[in-house]
Amino acid sequence: MDNIKLNDLRRQYTPLRNEILSALDAVFTDMNLFLGPNTRAFEKEWAEYCNTAHAVGVDNGTDALIIALRAYGIGKGDEVITPANTFVAIAEAIHEVGATPVFVDINPETYNIDVEAMKAAITSRTKAIVSVHLFGLAADMDAILEVARPKNILVIEDASQAQGAKYKGKRVGALGDSACFSLYYTKNLGGYGEAGIFTTNDTKVANTFALLRKHGEEPKYHTVISGYNSRLDEVQSAILRIKLPHLEEWNSQRRHWASVYTQELQGIVETPKIPDNCESVFYVYVIRTPQRDALKEKLLAAGVESGIHYPVPLHLQPMCQEYGYKKGQFPVTEKYAEEILSLPMFAELTESDVQRVCNAVKKSL
């Protein structure tokens, strides 16, 4: 019997294959590979989906974060607050623009930023908060904005793991000052390689961002500001346009499998707690148990692959040593890093896959 993968994208490709191959053929026949009709159309469609005035595509989600910080003029001497339990790209982006990352602990229920801890971390140098919607669940944006707005601190959503997720009925991407999305191939909406996009209602910021993604050139071969080579290409855009109309259905299928997992596994392991005012898109389904490492091994022996998001908190990453954090500073993040385990999660799972995963978890514990 085949292993059940954490995310088996082959199953998503099969029904879309003909449509994707003919779209790629059209792109290659046209040979207009950058900032062409598919990218322009996808940017428009993504802005409409997120209900924002602008969407600007880039090469990947890390670049979206770097270029967003640059577009706001954030740099040396500035501090940017972000949760300690997230993907390293955020720390890299803050470091890359010359600012200082300020990490804070996570809320034990939602795994997103702890708003009280965030409030306590604000100083006169705080310029922005990168609020991550981790595992598909929106952060408590109203509480974050309530703290940030009176102090003129920017709020940038990192919605890389939450395409289509809702907070109080609104989609992420339009909840703060702007938002960055990775569209890496394993995301709920992903291209076939690297891709990313930025959304905002602020026309000036959108224009600066668009300038920075193409070498700061305006007009061509006349660089007004040192930028980046980071354009969303036509190949990725054509694929993303085919996938976007399926995103809602895929997300709702993920929620269905999450509800089956929760029903079967609660009481045996800690299962995700989704606040009533949020609709998660379950980028990953994360359980928690003190026997995590043994469980992971036993699951693999039973043909079930799993993941850890993330084993090393940002403040304990070797790259962050220069900021002087110590082990023990963020107890929730550190405890969870030892206990979390992501189970297989993708729309095309079957009832029998999910039962196999649940049985394997129960048997292992």
- Which stretches of the chain bind ligand PLP, using CB under 6 A? 60-62, 86-87, 89-90, 132, 158, 160-161, 182, 184, 194, 196
Residue with tokens 């306590």: 120
Q: Checking DSSP bridges between strand 79-83 and strand 126-132, what pairing results, if any? A: parallel
Residue nearest to ligand PLP (CB): 61
Q: Which is nearer to ligand PLP, 161 or 280 (CB)?
A: 161
Contacts for 121 with CB less than 8 Å, ≥ 6 apart: 81, 102, 104
Q: How far is the CB of 134 from ligand PLP (least distance, A)?
A: 7
Q: Counting every residue, how long is the chain?
A: 365
Residues linked to residue 182 through DSSP beta bridges, in sequence order: 196
Q: Which is nearer to ligand PLP, 50 or 89 (CB)?
A: 89
Q: How far is the CB of 109 from ligand PLP (least distance, A)?
A: 19
Q: How far is the CB of 190 from ligand PLP (least distance, A)?
A: 9
Q: Which is nearer to ligand PLP, 190 or 227 (CB)?
A: 190
39-49 in b/e form (b: 16+ CB < 10 A) is: beebbebbbeb
Q: How far is the CB of 365 from ligand PLP (least distance, A)?
A: 28
Q: Which is nearer to ligand PLP, 139 or 361 (CB)?
A: 139
Q: How far is the CB of 266 from ligand PLP (least distance, A)?
A: 26
Distances (CA, A) of 22 to 16, 19, 235, 238, 239: 10, 5, 12, 10, 10
Q: Which is nearer to ligand PLP, 58 or 332 (CB)?
A: 58
Q: Which is nearer to ligand PLP, 65 or 361 (CB)?
A: 65
Q: How far is the CB of 208 from ligand PLP (least distance, A)?
A: 20
First to last CA, the chain: 22
Q: Which is nearer to ligand PLP, 342 or 364 (CB)?
A: 342
Distances (CA, A) of 128 to 61, 176, 196, 311, 317: 18, 11, 20, 26, 22
Q: How far is the CB of 161 from ligand PLP (least distance, A)?
A: 5
Distances (CA, A) of 324 to 10, 78, 101, 111, 124: 43, 17, 11, 23, 19
Q: Tokens in use for 352?
A: 């029998």
Give ∠ CA 153-162-235 in degrees, rounded to 5.
105
